[in-house]
């Protein structure tokens, strides 16, 4: 049985070149980069040379090559057609988030993968962050008590740029909320369970492009917990600390910067020692939290190794495809809420 998955990368010039190839595919224990394809010919050749891969001239050529899996890292508006083509060709496919631009597209991608008997994954790599996994462990152990409230923040400065696909509605599918808020929503559903209804605002507060540069969403969860997502394309990078806050009846976990592309940031848990001696009048203890420092994990390597393992172990379907679809369902409800200025129920599936 082979112990290495042979990978192709489509759309190799962006996040693939910066992160997923050098930090994920190349160092992964069970992956090998075979070929790359990018519509930008110069970039295509450069990336191939940089990482010792073969530069191919089209998606068709990629799908005829001797590969097992394709990592689709093209802009959101290309995901649907490319994932369908990969599935048709019998190739496993890991698609960057968001999984297409709409719920319908995501459903069709899942269906195509299922019909073809190939694995489909969504690259929601922030789940793999070791501090997020540590927070999840504490939550599952009940150390936070009843989950009450969470906040996820992911913002950056993204000025108008001619031709930038994230700034055009029919290419990005949305702005800050679709691009970055999706990660926040996905993490919240990992920590708190399923969202049942949402209320959301979007706006163009600073930048005058088609997609929103500002979004806040309030989420209500099936278990009664609540959360907010705040995500902006119009806050300077250095000003946004990308906080994660998780509150329960017995404690909290507060982090800065774990939501993002890095591997280790500051995360502190503030846990009640014992609820039996809990004194509601007690002054809030300051700075005596538990600093959470699990072994750092590179999130890009983790996602590639997990997907490769699933292929090698011949699993039939990857649940990160479901996560990608679920993400689209919650995002669609948020956009609907913003459009209608109403609270929108989120269907279970």
Ligand X SMILES: NC(=O)c1ccc[n+]([C@@H]2O[C@H](COP(=O)([O-])OP(=O)(O)OC[C@H]3O[C@@H](n4cnc5c(N)ncnc54)[C@H](O)[C@@H]3O)[C@@H](O)[C@H]2O)c1
In this structure, what is the dihedral angle of CA atoms 313, 62, 301, 192, given to the nearest 10 degrees?
-80
With b meaning 16 or more CB within 10 Å and e meaning fewer, what string describes 329-341? bbbbbbbebbeee
Tell which positions 223-282 bind ligand X, by CB under 6 A: 261
In the complex, minimum distance from the CB of residue 252 to ligand X, in angstroms, rounded to a whole number: 26
CA–CA gap between residue 121 and residue 94 (Å, rounded): 4
What x/- string results for residues 67 through 106 when contact with ligand X is judged by CB under 6 A? ------xxxx-x-----------------xx---------
Instruction: Report the residue from 8, 11, 231, 324 that binds ligand X according to the rule CB under 6 A.
Output: 11
Instruction: Report the residue from 8, 10, 21, 113 that binds ligand X according to the rule CB under 6 A.
Output: 10
Residue with tokens 């501090």: 131
In the complex, minimum distance from the CB of residue 37 to ligand X, in angstroms, rounded to a whole number: 6
CA–CA gap between residue 71 and residue 67 (Å, rounded): 11
How many helices (H) and strands (E) would you count in the chain? Answer: 11, 15
Count of residues touching ligand X (by CB under 6 A): 21
Instruction: Report the residue from 27, 30, 32, 39 that binds ligand X according to the rule CB under 6 A.
Output: 39
The first and second tokens of residue 50, run together, are 């940089």
Nearer to ligand X, 100 or 248 (CB): 100
In the complex, minimum distance from the CB of residue 159 to ligand X, in angstroms, rounded to a whole number: 15
Q: Are 51 and 23 in contact (CB under 8 A)?
A: no
Give me the DSSP letters along 25-59.
ITT-TTEEEEEEE-SSHHHHHHHHHHHT-EE-SSH
Nearer to ligand X, 92 or 166 (CB): 166
Instruction: Report the residue from 40, 50, 104, 293 that binds ligand X according to the rule CB under 6 A.
Output: 40
Instruction: List interacting residues with ligand X (CB under 6 A).
Output: 10-11, 13-15, 37-40, 43, 73-76, 78, 96-97, 123, 125, 179, 261
């Amino acid at each position: 049985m082979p112990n290495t998955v042979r990978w192709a990368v489509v759309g190799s010039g962006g996040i693939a070149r910066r992160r997923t190839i050098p930090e994920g595919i190349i160092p992964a224990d069970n992956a090998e980069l075979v070929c790359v394809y990018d519509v930008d010919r110069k970039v295509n050749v450069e990336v191939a040379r940089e990482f010792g891969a073969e530069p191919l001239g089209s998606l068709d050529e990629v799908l005829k090559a001797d590969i097992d899996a394709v990592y689709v890292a093209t802009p959101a508006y290309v995901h649907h057609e490319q994932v369908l083509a990969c599935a048709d060709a019998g190739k496993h496919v890991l698609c960057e988030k968001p999984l297409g631009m709409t719920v319908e597209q995501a459903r069709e991608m899942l269906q195509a993968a299922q019909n073809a008997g190939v694995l489909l994954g969504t690259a929601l790599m922030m789940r793999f962050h070791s501090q997020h996994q540590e927070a999840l462990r504490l939550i599952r152990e009940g150390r936070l008590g009843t989950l009450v409230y969470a906040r996820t923040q992911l913002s950056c400065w993204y000025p108008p740029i001619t031709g930038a696909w994230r700034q055009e509605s029919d290419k990005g599918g949305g702005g800050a909320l679709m691009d970055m808020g999706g990660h926040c929503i996905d993490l919240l559903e990992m920590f708190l369970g399923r969202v049942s209804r949402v209320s959301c605002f979007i706006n163009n507060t600073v930048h005058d492009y088609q997609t929103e540069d500002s979004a806040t969403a309030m989420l209500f969860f099936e278990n009664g917990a609540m959360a907010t997502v705040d995500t902006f394309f119009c806050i300077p990078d250095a000003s946004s600390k990308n906080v994660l806050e998780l509150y329960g009846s017995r404690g909290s976990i507060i982090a800065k910067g774990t939501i993002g592309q890095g591997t280790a940031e500051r995360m502190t848990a503030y846990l009640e020692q014992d609820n039996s001696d809990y004194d509601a009048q007690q002054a809030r203890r300051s700075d005596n939290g538990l600093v959470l420092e699990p072994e750092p994990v590179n999130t890009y390597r983790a996602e590639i190794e997990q997907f490769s393992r699933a292929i090698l172990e011949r699993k039939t379907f990857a649940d990160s495809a479901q996560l990608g679809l679920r993400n689209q369902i919650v995002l669609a409800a948020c956009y609907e809420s913003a459009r209608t200025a109403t609270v929108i129920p989120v269907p279970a599936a």
